[in-house]
Chains A and B, each alone.
Chain A
Amino acid sequence: MPISTFTGKVQTVVGLIEPEDLGITLPHEHLLVDQTVGGVYFIEPKETSARLLAHQPVSLENLSWVRYNMKDNLDNMMLLDEQMAIKEAMLYKLRGGKTIVDQTNVGIGRDPEALARISRATGLNIIMGSGYYVEGSYSKEMMDAKTEEEITEEIVKDITVGVDDTGIRSGVIGELGCSWPLKDNEKKVLKAGAYAQKRTGAAIWVHPGRNEMAPIESMEVLSNAGADLGRVVICHMDRCGYLLDTRRKLLDAGCYVEYDVFGLEGYYPARVALADGHLPDRPNDIGRIKQIKELIGMGYLKQILLSHDIGMKIMLVSYGGGGYAHLLREVVPLMKIYGISDEQINTMMVENPKRLLQLVHP
């Protein structure tokens, strides 16, 4: 499909729409996903006593344990239930949500047909991802064999023709996964993402590794490969308690910073700690709001995005979590109490996503 036909429009899983039709948007979610990532995130426990808990389905009986050992339960790490995804997404729609960007890509369970069905069932606009997540989510041998050009072509095809033979097209390049230290293959994927951005005009979402230096490293790889940093989103700015200085470097380079784990208020399993021994001391929602207020005060309002990155069962309302409507139900009222205006909230939840999701002239 000629790229010129979708310049200025947004590519959803059921076709092109006008940017004006986006409305309130969550720019980083997963409706269906497999986060087990080939033994990187979920690891078979050694102790016999832990194996039962690791393989039990999530239920009220083990919810307390799973909340604190979230990556040690296999069932928790997968969202495979389409009906549940529809039910959960509807809670977001009922509160006024209109669009969800599903950042699930190759290797963590991207299912274009299912996303199209969920879109039709809920009436929500759904935008699909492309590219590759962290190295654990694919075979290293397979990716070693691919060239940058081949990966670029894959992403371009996903956006312009469709994923595999579904004809269902991606609308963003992401979430491109990075580990710490950055793997060669991940670097290759970032560069391919930058080239694909040039060819398609789509925006890039980057999942940085768990280290203070990781976001800047990813940004530099993209920049050196010619990416438009003004159309790059650095995700999970609230996951590791990054310093203000780090955030400002990204923002001053033009990137968007995404506060996308609203609803996860504290406990982070140390097993998934930053590779250099640095513990992930993330803020709670109030802490996020204060950081955002600070950034708005410094002039960065137009570069801030908000989301939940729902990706585990315990984050769903059906399992006691905040779900896709958490921002609208709990956080927006809180923001208002803390002095963020309706207009500023609108900028972050409507205008900023709109600017990114609109495919620009390559």
Chain B
Amino acid sequence: MKTAKCTGKVQTVVGLIEPEDLGITLPHEHLLIDQTVGFIEPKETSARLLAHQPVSLENLSWLRYHPYENFDNMQLLDEQEAIDEAMLYQRAKGKTIVDVTITGIGRNPKALARISQATGLNIVMGSGYYVEGSYSKEMMDAKTEEEITEEIVKDITVGVDDTGIRSGVIGELGCSWPLHDNERKVLRAAAQAQQRTGASISVHPGRNRKAPFEVMEILGEAGADLNRIIMCHIDSRLRDHSERIELLKTGCVAEYDLWGWEGHFPSYLTAEGFLDLPNDTQRIYEVRQLIEAGYIAQIFMSHDICTKNRLCRYGGWGYSHILNYVVPMMLQRGMTQEQINTMMVENPKRLLPFV
């Protein structure tokens, strides 16, 4: 229940903290995850070996452009590896990570608590459901909106299953394109849960430029607080500045959360040739434009690390990429430390506490 005890505080996997203790925050990451529900067995015989090889230097070239065509790449299951990688972020002065891994893609509250203890980082855990492919349709068909709302409220106020470890954010709620009925149901349930708990909602929109707007409409109709919604993957979904402005006018946060991913979106994943991704310098110029238009308070930055090949140990960019490489690039391109602070500290400080 929304209690005076929680209001104004942030729920981490080891307890409540003050917003002042958040510091530099990554609002959209995965420390441990299992995305293999989305893995598709390849048809060509020659591709089957590649699909089931463990990730190594030998196949990194392939994985760079075919990250979801390898089973091992879609799993981050090694707790020690997660600690080592998170420590690189801690060494770069990062303080908080929001891990938006949820049911169906491997949410592991106890492991997150151990990682938090081992690294000293604040870790905020997610709640809710990802895309329909991550759960049994029959199971979800049978649930009512109210039941889903209760689940999310319990995750936040009592704890996940019987761990007593509580979620601090509702998300990342998964949407496909077109949106499945169950996914709509989850969005609506989340809006109710937001009203009950005061938590923010983080949404992974479907792979289409109209998807973010569809999500805002559904959440709005269901009574969500539009100023406490985080719309993820803007660097992929909205390639047009005027579209980004339209979205920001609704009041939500535009989250640029694919920093470090500088190539194009795998054509494997999207039927519509929805492939455009900016590289980091382009992201910087786009963010600068949004700041110039007056929307600095509605911008979030993260990496969405979710495959092995993005980890530093496998040659990737890791959780410290923004701090080590992007921030200096931003400063070189006319942005100020204060602006960076707003996006990485102040904005999370406003959205992560319960209201």
Contacts and interface: CB of A to CB of B under 8 A. Distances in A.
B262 A334 contact: no
B243 interface: no
Contacts of B282: 281, 283-284, 287
A284 B317 contact: no
Interface magnitude class on chain B: 20 to 34
A266 interface: yes
A287 B279 contact: yes
A65 B313 CA distance: 10
Query: Which of A65, A321, A330, A337 has the largest number of chain B CB atoms within 10 A?
Result: A330
B314 interface: yes
B273 interface: yes
Given A67-B315, A284-B263, A267 B280 contact: yes
A64 B316 CA distance: 5
A322 B312 CA distance: 18
- B interface SS class: helix
Contacts, number: 86
B210 interface: no
Given A64-B317, A333-B267, A283 B61 contact: no
A63 interface: yes
B329 A285 contact: no
A266 B280 contact: yes
B170 to A, nearest CB: 33
B281 A281 contact: yes
A265 B281 CA distance: 10
Contacts of B57: 59-60, 63, 318-320
Contacts of B313: 60-61, 64
A64 B318 contact: yes
A323 interface: yes
A60 B59 CA distance: 12
Nearest to A314: B315
B279 A284 contact: yes
Nearest to B320: A64
Contacts of B262: 265-267, 284
A286 B61 contact: no
Interface in A270-293: 270, 279, 281-287
Contacts of A60: 56-57, 313-315
B54 to A, nearest CB: 12
B328 A285 contact: no
Contact of A285 (B263, B280, B281): B263
B263 A265 contact: yes
Contact of A63 (B281, B315, B329): B315
A270 B56 CA distance: 29
Query: Which of A267, A270, A319 has the largest number of chain B CB atoms within 10 A?
Result: A267
A59 B58 CA distance: 11
Given A64-B318, A286-B264, A270 B332 contact: yes
Nearest to A91: B61
Given A265-B262, A267-B262, A284-B262, A64 B275 contact: no
Nearest to A63: B315
B65 interface: yes
A60 B316 CA distance: 10
A151 B280 CA distance: 42
Interface string A196-212: 00000000000000000
A317 interface: yes
B161 interface: no
A341 to B, nearest CB: 16
A353 to B, nearest CB: 24
Interface string A42-61: 00000000000000000111
Contacts of A281: 281-282, 285
Query: Which of B58, B65, B285, B329 has the largest number of chain A CB atoms within 10 A?
Result: B65
A315 to B, nearest CB: 10
Interface in B272-287: 273, 275-282, 285
Contacts of B332: 270, 279
Interface string B192-225: 0000000000000000000000000000000000
Contacts of A279: 281, 332-333
B315 A266 contact: no
B64 interface: yes
A322 B282 CA distance: 21
B152 to A, nearest CB: 36
Nearest to B321: A68
A25 B332 CA distance: 38
Nearest to A277: B332
A338 B56 CA distance: 31
Contacts of A61: 313
Contact of B312 (A64, A283, A285, A287): A64
Contacts of B60: 63, 319-320
A329 B61 CA distance: 11
B315 A320 contact: yes
Given A266-B281, A284-B262, A337 B267 contact: yes
Contacts of A64: 312-313, 315-318
A305 B131 CA distance: 43
B325 interface: yes
A338 B274 CA distance: 10
Nearest to A264: B262
Given A67-B317, A265-B263, A283-B282, 10 more contacts: A68-B317, A68-B325, A266-B262, A266-B280, A267-B325, A270-B328, A279-B281, A279-B333, A320-B64, A321-B61
Interface of A: 59-61, 63-65, 67-68, 265-267, 270, 279, 281-287, 317-323, 329-330, 333-334, 337-338
11 contacts: A60-B314, A64-B312, A64-B315, A68-B317, A266-B280, A267-B262, A282-B281, A283-B282, A286-B277, A333-B267, A338-B273
